[in-house]
């Protein structure tokens, strides 16, 4: 099947929104496990309104009539928010859209549907026993994981159903599926985008963001959901000081990821970027900080678990319950330790324009392998979360963009920086994207 959408947003400027949306709805209705709910009537109405504006030569809002998907983590007025679970099926309906959804609608988006996800966003793999696991469209022979937790969001964009997939990123939940599905995913500084109206995983680390087909599209969507566009400087690749951390981030790379990343570094160097290997041993301390999600998720879920634990994905429920072991004093100490680590990290990376590294160390594993073995599942989950989660602990921002050769399995290259360096990191990502393409 041809993808309804296979180009960035800018290439769709004069396209019939109704024709495009009809094609996307038709394809989405035939897909398996990508959406938990579709909104065909509302999407067609938004598309028809945009076409009327086009016909009248009226200036269009930035997403006028273009299909966008929303992760099933966000409130849509009039229905319960399920978060990829069945536990909340009898919860009260949301009274209003989440603020980020309101902003997408105000920008003219045709909200196509709610996308499937890892239950309660607690895994980087993307498996879901309740609604099925959407297969990664990058491989038509072997059903591979899409990555998570924003699994359906990634597949909705990679399959051409949507121009953007709204999701969240607590430890890599946008960047992991972007890397595995060959997309661009941007994790902004967390404080820039409101988290209201989204079921929380970690109130400390949760970040609202999106996946698209290009860095330019990520910049557009980020400006909409953040409520204000960033100032993006024009930065040439030549002369950029790009640091490659040698601690932790390059451990355990599979052959394809290693070769793809090495080839990307060679192209960036040939384009004039200064590639600098740095020890950055502070990254070894990330393991000791990796306790926020469990503790904060347990605080939110403890009453639900007491009554409905049997309804949870056992892999999710098991990890949430581990959060009960962290005392209040330990939790306070954890925040103090994180603030101290952030200050030392920011000083350590200050001489460089950005950090670059593989987004994840492996290509997407087959779904069947991880469904068959809990040991394989948790090993893959740990590997997938390792690199991107370090940027969440840093309170930083990062872009994952494709760096693999055409026709091979997707590999992501991550460009990252400290808090509130979003404009610079996106500008660097844009320069890198241009070089790699």
**Chain Cα centroid distance, residue 26:** 25
Exactly one of 156, 173, 214, 421 is catalytic; which is it? Answer: 173
70 vs 168: CA distance, rounded Å: 10
Q: If you average pLDDT over residues 183-210, what whole number do you get? A: 98
Residue 299 within a domain: no
Residue 12 within a domain: yes
- 3-class secondary structure per residue, 64-77: CCCEEEEECCECCC
**CATH number assigned to the domain comprising residue 76:** 3.90.1300.10
108 vs 46: CA distance, rounded Å: 7
For residue range 73-123, list pLDDT tens digits in order: 999 999 999 999 999 999 999 999 999 999 999 999 999 999 999 999 999
Residue 389 within a domain: yes
Task: Produce one character per residue of 340-355: b if its CB has 16 or more CB atoms within 10 Å, e if not.
Answer: ebbeebbebbeebbbb
Backbone conformation region of residue 239, classed left if phi is above 0, alpha if psi is from -120 to 50, else beta: left
Active site residue 71: yes
Residue 310 within a domain: no
Q: How many domains are contained in the chain?
A: 1
For residue range 256-302, list pLDDT tens digits in order: 999 999 999 999 999 999 999 999 999 999 999 999 999 999 999 99
Specify whether the CB–CB gap between 313 and 119 falls below 8 A. yes
- CB neighbours (10 Å) of residue 277? 10
For residue range 15-45, list pLDDT tens digits in order: 899 999 999 999 999 999 999 999 999 999 9
Task: Produce one character per residue of 59-94: b if its CB has 16 or more CB atoms within 10 Å, e if not.
Answer: ebebbbbbbbbbbbbbbbeeeebbbbbebbeeeeeb
Active site residue 202: no
- pLDDT > 90 in the chain, percent: 98
- 3-class secondary structure per residue, 198-209: ECCCCCCCCCEE
Active site residue 150: no
Phi, psi of 276 (to 5 degrees): -125, 120
> Residue 242 has which token pair?
């790009």
Specify whether the CB–CB gap between 197 and 96 falls below 8 A. yes
Q: If you average pLDDT over residues 348-362, what whole number do you get? A: 98
Q: Are strands 354-358 and 412-417 parallel, antiparallel or unpaired?
A: antiparallel
Residue 335 within a domain: yes
Specify whether the CB–CB gap between 144 and 123 falls below 8 A. no
Exactly one of 71, 114, 187, 291 is catalytic; which is it? Answer: 71
Phi, psi of 410 (to 5 degrees): -60, 145
81 vs 198: CA distance, rounded Å: 8
SS3 state of residue 353? coil
Residue 221 within a domain: yes
The reported pLDDT for the residue numbered 3 is: 85
The reported pLDDT for the residue numbered 1 is: 44
The reported pLDDT for the residue numbered 380 is: 98
Residue 41 within a domain: yes
**Chain Cα centroid distance, residue 123:** 12
SS3 state of residue 351? coil
Q: If you average pLDDT over residues 351-364, what whole number do you get? A: 98
For residue range 377-433, list pLDDT tens digits in order: 999 999 999 999 999 999 999 999 999 999 999 999 999 999 999 999 999 999 999
Residue 246 has pLDDT above 50, yes or no: yes
64 vs 280: CA distance, rounded Å: 44
Residue 295 within a domain: no
Exactly one of 33, 69, 123, 149 is catalytic; which is it? Answer: 149
- Which domain covers residue 335, as residue numbers? 1-282+331-437
Largest CA distance in the chain: 63
């Amino acid at each position: 099947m041809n993808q309804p959408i296979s180009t960035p947003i800018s290439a769709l400027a004069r396209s019939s929104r109704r024709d495009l949306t009809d094609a996307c709805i038709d394809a989405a209705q035939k897909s398996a496990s990508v959406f938990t709910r579709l909104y065909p009537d509302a999407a067609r109405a938004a598309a028809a309104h945009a076409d009327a504006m086009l016909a009248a030569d009226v200036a269009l809002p930035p997403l006028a009539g273009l299909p966008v998907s929303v992760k099933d983590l966000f409130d849509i007025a009039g229905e319960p928010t399920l978060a990829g679970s069945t536990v909340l099926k009898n919860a009260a309906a949301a009274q209003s859209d989440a603020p980020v959804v309101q902003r997408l609608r105000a920008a003219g988006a045709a909200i196509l549907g709610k996308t499937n996800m890892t239950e309660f966003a607690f895994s980087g793999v993307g498996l879901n026993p309740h609604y099925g696991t959407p297969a990664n469209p990058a491989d038509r022979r072997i059903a591979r994981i899409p990555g998570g937790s924003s699994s359906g969001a990634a597949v909705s964009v990679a399959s051409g159903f949507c121009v953007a997939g709204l999701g969240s990123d607590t430890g890599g939940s946008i960047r992991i599926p972007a890397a595995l599905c060959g997309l661009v995913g941007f994790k902004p500084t967390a404080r820039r985008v409101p988290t209201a109206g989204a079921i929380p995983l970690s109130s400390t680390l949760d970040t609202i963001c999106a996946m698209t087909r290009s860095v330019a599209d990520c910049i557009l969507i980020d400006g909409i959901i953040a409520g204000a566009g960033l100032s993006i400087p024009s930065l040439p690749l030549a002369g950029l000081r790009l640091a490659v951390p040698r601690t932790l981030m390059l451990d355990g790379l599979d052959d394809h990821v290693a070769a793809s990343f090495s080839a990307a570094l060679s192209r960036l160097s040939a384009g004039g970027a200064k590639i600098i290997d740095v020890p950055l041993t502070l990254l070894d301390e990330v393991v000791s900080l990796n306790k926020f999600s469990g503790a904060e998720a347990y605080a939110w879920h403890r009453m639900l678990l007491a009554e409905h634990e049997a309804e949870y994905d056992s892999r999710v429920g098991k990890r949430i319950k581990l959060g009960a072991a962290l005392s209040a004093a330990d939790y306070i100490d954890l925040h103090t330790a994180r603030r101290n680590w952030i200050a030392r990290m920011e000083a350590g990376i200050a001489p460089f324009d950005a950090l670059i590294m593989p987004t994840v160390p492996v290509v997407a594993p087959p779904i069947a392998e991880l469904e068959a073995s809990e040991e394989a599942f948790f090993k893959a989950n740990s590997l997938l979360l390792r690199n991107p989660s370090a940027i969440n602990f840093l309170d930083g921002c990062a872009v994952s963009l494709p760096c693999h050769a055409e026709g091979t399995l997707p590999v992501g290259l991550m460009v990252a920086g400290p808090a509130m360096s979003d404009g610079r990191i996106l500008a660097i990502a844009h320069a890198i994207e241009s070089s790699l393409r």
